[in-house]
Amino acid sequence: MTARSWLALAPDPPGLALPDDLRDRDPLRGRDCGWVSQMRPFVRAFSRPGEVVFDPFCGFGTTLLAASLEGRRGLGTEIDPDRAALARERLRRHGVEAEIVPGSLPQARLPARIALCLTSVPYFGCDWRGEARAGPSPGQLPGQLYGAPDFAQYLATMRTIFHAVREALPDDGYCIAMVENARLGDRMVAQAWELARLLGSLFEPCEERVLLYPARGAASMGTASMDAASTGAAVADDDPARTDRSHEYALVFRKRRPALDIDGARALLRRLRADGHDLQVYGSFLPWLDADPAADAPPPSDIDARVDGDPERFRALLATLVRLGFRLSLWGDPVNADVRPETVRAHGYLRAERLQGDGRRVQLDLVPRDAG
Ligand SMILES: C[S@@+](CC[C@H](N)C(=O)[O-])C[C@H]1O[C@@H](n2cnc3c(N)ncnc32)[C@H](O)[C@@H]1O
């Protein structure tokens, strides 16, 4: 794949594009269908022949078709059964028997080990005319994301799905998501940045590639046409703050455990204990606590610690960490030192991460013990 950070794309030739009769059967008339030419370079560069390329939002099967044309095995999940049927028919016309699991992660069971996740994500605020199957509360029942009632629920469901993708990927496997910042009425919704933040809490960020599409109005557009098309927003010539938004991003992430600054981690623990904070270290940092282990122990990427669950003492620990340059988050969402221990327990752990100007980082995953 070219080392250039942007790719100029051309619409698929008629032989590969979504056929008109299938497009006509879709509630969005296939407006959110991507291009095979958009996916193929990523399939080639990030997977090997014979491996399984997985698309958790497989829509019309564009990624699956690209995978198959590159000698890989395409596998997808799609929540909308009508879309899945369209994808199956499209792929059948190419002589490919589609492997599409109905539904959504994390409930859907994948029948094979995946090597790469490659997808165009569903857009928030899409004018969805199909059946909305949104879950009753954020993060519980992942539903049709096009029907998500608000951005918080949309992001919570996305996180649940990408968390399951992370579980399914092997170590070092890539997760590549195509997304754009989109206009919703008069408002710019920074979906690409939000998704990057969310993916950054699950994977290691590697790169982004900018995908450039022909100017709007081209006969066939990829997912980059979603925002204006779905809102009906016209691009005013006299507004210099508005563009035709004919690009999107391929966000490239990898399942990797980022390196921990071991000396910095030891120094931090000494400092916190000297200040009277009670941390009970467990997990992969334990063998590294005082000195490098003699035996082969995998280098830790964080410090797992159980800490005092008393609200005041918990708050004091978090306030100290903030003073020492740590950012606090719950499942990727920033929180401050006032977050309650029970809120943290409901999420499993609180992450405190300090990234220094020289690139070194220290991360703690803290579990407050039950106060009683
Ligand atoms: C941008 S489209 C994907 C189009 C696809 N890349 C293609 O070009 O053929 C996003 C798809 O995600 C599906 N979707 C939305 N929410 C979902 C969920 N929770 N799980 C699985 N699929 C979902 C939508 O029905 C839609 O088909």
Q: State in Å: Cα 160 to ligand 1 middle.
A: 15
- Which residue has the CA at smallest separation from atom 4 of ligand 1? 59
Atom of ligand 1 at shortest range from CA of 80: 25
Residue 142 has pLDDT above 70, yes or no: no
What gap in Å lies between CA 147 and CA 235, rounded to an integer? Answer: 25
Contact of 332 with 197, CB cutoff 8 Å = yes
What's the CA-to-centroid distance between 101 and ligand 1, angstroms?
Answer: 12
CATH of domain 262-368: 3.30.460
Q: How far is the CA of 205 from the centre of ligand 1 (A)?
A: 23
Going by CA atoms, what residue is nearest to atom 25 of ligand 1? Answer: 80
Cβ of 78 below 6 Å from ligand 1: yes
Ligand 1 centroid – CA 121 distance (Å): 6
In one-letter notation, the amino acid at residue 67 is A
Burial class (CB in 10 A: 0-12, 13-18, 19+), 212: middle
C-alpha dihedral, 5 to 121 to 201 to 257, nearest 10°: -60
Q: How far is the CA of 125 from the centre of ligand 1 (A)?
A: 14
146 CA distance to ligand 1 centroid (A)?
8
Give me the helices (H) in 78-202, please: 81-93, 151-168, 191-200
pLDDT tens-digit series, residues 92-138: 999 999 899 999 999 999 999 999 999 999 999 876 665 544 443 33
Site to probe by mutation for ligand 1, drawn from 29, 144, 159 as the one with most ligand atoms within 8 Å of Cβ, is: 144
CA of 80 to the centre of ligand 1 (A): 8
- 248: CA distance to ligand 1 center in Å? 17
Q: How far apart are CA 63 and CA 43, in angstroms?
A: 8
Whether 146 lines ligand 1, by a CB cut-off of 6 Å, is yes
154 CA → ligand 1 middle, Å: 13
Boundaries of every domain in the chain: 6-254, 262-368
At 50-72, the pLDDT tens digits run 999 999 999 999 999 999 999 99
Averaged pLDDT, 294-298: 82
Q: What is the pLDDT of residues 13-54, one digit of tens each?
A: 999 999 999 999 998 899 999 999 999 999 999 999 999 999
Q: Is the CB of 142 under 6 A from ligand 1?
A: yes
Any ligand 1 atom below 6 A from CB of 33: yes
* Ligand 1 near 222 CB (within 6 A): no
- Residue identified by tokens 């698309």 is 55
- Mean pLDDT, residues 342-358 taken together: 97
Ligand 1 pocket check for 62: Cβ under 6 Å: yes
pLDDT at 226 over 80: no
Mutating to test ligand 1, I would choose from 12, 23, 32 the residue with most ligand atoms within 8 A of its C-beta, which is: 32
Spatial separation of the C-alpha atoms in residues 327 and 197, rounded to whole Å: 13
The pLDDT tens digits for 236-247 are 667 888 888 899
Closest protein CA for atom 26 of ligand 1:
59
pTM as predicted: 0.89
Give nearest CA residue, ligand 1 atom 6: 120
For residues 325-354, average pLDDT: 96
Instruction: Return d(Cα 360, Cα 183) in angstroms, integer.
Output: 37
* Number of other CB atoms surrounding residue 355 within 10 Å: 15
Fold of 6-254: Rossmann fold (3.40.50)
124 lines ligand 1 (CB under 6 A): no
87 Cα nearest atom in ligand 1? 9
Nearest CA to ligand 1 atom 1: 122
Q: Is the peptide bond before 106 cis (omega within 30 degrees of 0)?
A: yes
> In this model, does residue 332 exceed pLDDT 90?
no
Mean pLDDT of 163-184: 96
Task: Decide whether any atom of ligand 1 lies within 6 Å of the 223 Cβ.
Answer: yes
